Chain A
């Protein structure tokens, strides 16, 4: 079985500061890992995904995440926060080589201070 844990339901950073959203996963088989973002009153948008290729994954809007198997982590980072980054972010896991269901973390709401 797979699961993800997102540390911190709410993170607040200043504009221009580093964004770090934490995600730890649990999987009995090699996982596929994702970060999705939900802007207010909008659907889920894929930010980036890890599919067993490069461990450092670059996504849209300047975000990136690093897969660390030894730490079972897939933290999301952005060097410099922008006001438009304010949204809710979801880490998710599924099993590779199949189209099985995706399991979401509980989400982290990111606020940006001017």
Chain B
């Protein structure tokens, strides 16, 4: 069974540009999460989807970040326009209720804004 997959694995963009990160959760997982770790700091929660609905978006830093999950399958996280402080690694994770609350993480998308 495929795990959580993220694309791109690495991205380098200039300040002011737009980047879209994609996450494909484990098949059948209704719950999808975005996290990020900026410059070696702690891993911060961004938001939580249940199917296509945003259950909790309290961690989204500002309106330059837009997350979608159309159809309740894969999700995208768009940063527009990107700023230097957005550099870091963006993790996607998924889980299904009843799985013992084990949250499975992807390999991360490493974003560098220059």
The answer to the question of B33 belonging to the interface, with a C-beta cut-off of 8 Å to chain A, is: yes
The answer to the question of B100 belonging to the interface, with a C-beta cut-off of 8 Å to chain A, is: yes
Give the chain B neighbours of A51 by CB distance below 8 A: 100-101
Query: Which of A63-71, A73-81, A97-105 is found at the contact surface with chain B?
Result: A97-105
Contact (Cβ within 8 A) A101 B104: no
Contact (Cβ within 8 A) A103 B104: no
Query: Which of B14-22, B43-51, B68-76 is found at the contact surface with chain A?
Result: B43-51
The answer to the question of A44 belonging to the interface, with a C-beta cut-off of 8 Å to chain B, is: yes
Give the chain B neighbours of A36 by CB distance below 8 A: 105
Q: Scoring A residues 44 to 59 as 1 if CB is less than 8 Å from chain B, else 0, what string do you get? A: 1110010100000000
Smallest Cβ distance from A46 to chain B, in angstroms?
7
Q: How large is the interface on B (under 10, 10 to 19, 20 to 34, 35 or more residues)?
A: 20 to 34
Tally of chain A residues near chain B (CB < 8 A) = 23
**Given the contacts A32-B101, A43-B91, A46-B102, A99 and B43 also touching, CB distance less than 8 Å:** no
The answer to the question of B80 belonging to the interface, with a C-beta cut-off of 8 Å to chain A, is: no
Rounded to whole angstroms, the CA-CA distance of A67 and B35 in the bound complex is 26
Contact (Cβ within 8 A) B105 A99: no
Q: Scoring A residues 7 to 50 as 1 if CB is less than 8 Å from chain B, else 0, what string do you get? A: 00000000000000000000000001010100000111110010
What residues of chain B have their CB less than 8 Å away from a CB belonging to chain A?
30-31, 33, 35, 41-45, 48, 50, 56, 59, 91, 93, 95-97, 100-108
